[in-house]
Amino acid sequence: MKRKGSIHLSVGASSILMIFVVLCLTTFGVLSYVTANADAKISTKNAEMVENYYAGSTAAEKQLQQVDSTLLAAKADAELAVENGNVDATKYDASYKSHDQIHSVVDIINGTLPKEQKCKLVYRSFSEMLLTSIPGFSIDAGTDGEPLRFTYVTDAGSGHHLETKFTVNPYGDSNRYTVTSKKLINDQTVGETSQGNLQLWQGNSAK
Amino acid sequence: MKHSGVQYNSFFIEIILVILFFSVSVAVTLQLFVAANNRAQQSSDLSVAVIKAENIAEQVKSLSTADALPKALDTAKPSGSGDTPHYSIGYDKEWNETESDPRYVVDVTMNKAKSDGGTMVIADISINRLHNSSTESLYRLNSAKYLPNH
């Protein structure tokens, strides 16, 4: 018999409560795992991008080392060519002779300019010939009086590349080259894909 | 009386079954929470490791001479000699520098390769987590700087 004032829980109330609590726990557990997983993916993508950028930057520095050794060789060859009066004994004579510019270089060597001026002009020509023969290097158009300007790119992964521009300093300068800019450029431009969408992540890494 | 006795019996049986199923489901969902916490900890470790490595990498890129050292390595423990000096910095679980019982270790190897024109300085930066006498690699980065001779 029912007592006055007593609270009576019917059968099934605790089951309903249990189902509710378990549902809440499961929902919150799944939500927190999904959020943590998404955060981990973003962190991983960021880490990969940073790694690829510095790999591209390291490759760019190695290219600069190649530029410097090339300019040193061009300087030595220019001095030797002016001294000897011909390009035959130079280190890269085969490379110079394959360029059309060689005729103007020979004219300068055989000309009546002072030795210092000859070295300056021959060094400029030899630098241009050697640097343009390196794969990936392009010369920016300029007038004769301006320093030589070059551009090269290195892969920075994740759909980016690193563009480095430098100028070749005149003969006799203590700094053989000057880096004028370094830019990280996205390979993909808006409008190339259909519907004008910009793909933000291709999921590729630099090799 | 018998009717209320049966009712109390069914109530207790139900409560016991509810507690049983609840404990099983809590055991499963707790694992989900633990996995989420581990993932979050991994993500946090990776993010901080990337920042530490990037800091040293940028300082390497701004070196002006081949003998100079990145500022971040001023407090590092040096080892190795010659052209490949090695530096280590220990961090506790809050990523504060510590010399005793580190949880994380930043190892930097500075390779210096001389050529006719100058010196190429390459820093190999690796960040590891120490756990129960085992080492787990968190992140690795290479940074280089070419320093021409004048």
Residues of A in contact with B21 (CB under 8 A): 18, 22
Q: Please, are residues A108 and A118 in contact by the beta-carbon 8 Å criterion? A: yes
Residues of B in contact with A25 (CB under 8 A): 25-26, 29
Residues of B in contact with A65 (CB under 8 A): 115, 117-118, 120, 146
CB contact under 8 A, A15 and B47: no
State mean pLDDT over B121-146. Answer: 94
Q: Please, are residues A130 and A90 in contact by the beta-carbon 8 Å criterion? A: no
pTM to 2 decimal places? 0.83
Q: Using CB atoms and an 8 Å cut-off, which of residues 97-116 of chain A contact chain B?
A: none
Residues of A in contact with B142 (CB under 8 A): 54-55, 58
Beta-carbon contacts below 8 Å between A and B? 122
Paired strand residues for B79: B86
Q: Which of the residues in chain A have pLDDT under 50?
A: 1, 207
User: What tokens appear for B146 in the block?
Assistant: 């070419």
A9-30 residue pLDDT tens? 677 888 999 999 999 999 999 9
- The pLDDT, as a whole number, for residue B5 is 60
B22-77 residue pLDDT tens? 999 999 999 999 999 999 999 999 999 999 999 999 999 999 998 888 999 998 88
